[in-house]
Copies of this chain bind each other. A is one copy, B any other.
Amino acid sequence: MRVRVQEAPFDAGAELDAFTHGRREVGAVVSFTGIVRDTKGGLIRMEIEHYPGMTEKAIAGIAEQAMVRWDLADLLVIHRHGPLPVGQPIMMVATAAAHRRAAFEAADYLMDYLKSRAPFWKKEVTEADEAWVEATPEDEDALSRWQR
């Protein structure tokens, strides 16, 4: 289990290769990369605030839940904070498993929980203004998929 919270950029491809390399019992690796997107046009940058200390604990808790729930060989979570230009990776998760279903479901689960349960807050800075991104009811609804 590898969890990193950092301000520095990262290279999703290099991370995927490092995560995948040299495994004999893994048949499936799923990755998700979240990228700063210019939703309305005019976005200069995204700013991500987080809660140092709690962030690491919250992510580790979510990751442990995924390891308990699915038969995973390993997982990776990287999440950035600070200012982020359009097109740059914000975060990534990767999961490695013998079978594809576990790898897909665990990555999907990690994303749903990181989105709504890890203490990050996004602000969009355009030329005109700055606005905090609001959580949507869909974000919360997504969690109910896993509460069986």
Contacts and interface: CB of A to CB of B under 8 A. Distances in A.
A148 interface: no
B30 A31 contact: yes
A24 B108 contact: no
Number of copies: 2
Interface in A70-124: 86-87, 89, 98, 100-101, 103-104, 107-108, 111
A28 B34 CA distance: 5
A148 to B, nearest CB: 17
A25 B12 contact: no
A17 B27 contact: no
A36 B111 CA distance: 26
A20 B12 contact: yes
A12 to B, nearest CB: 6
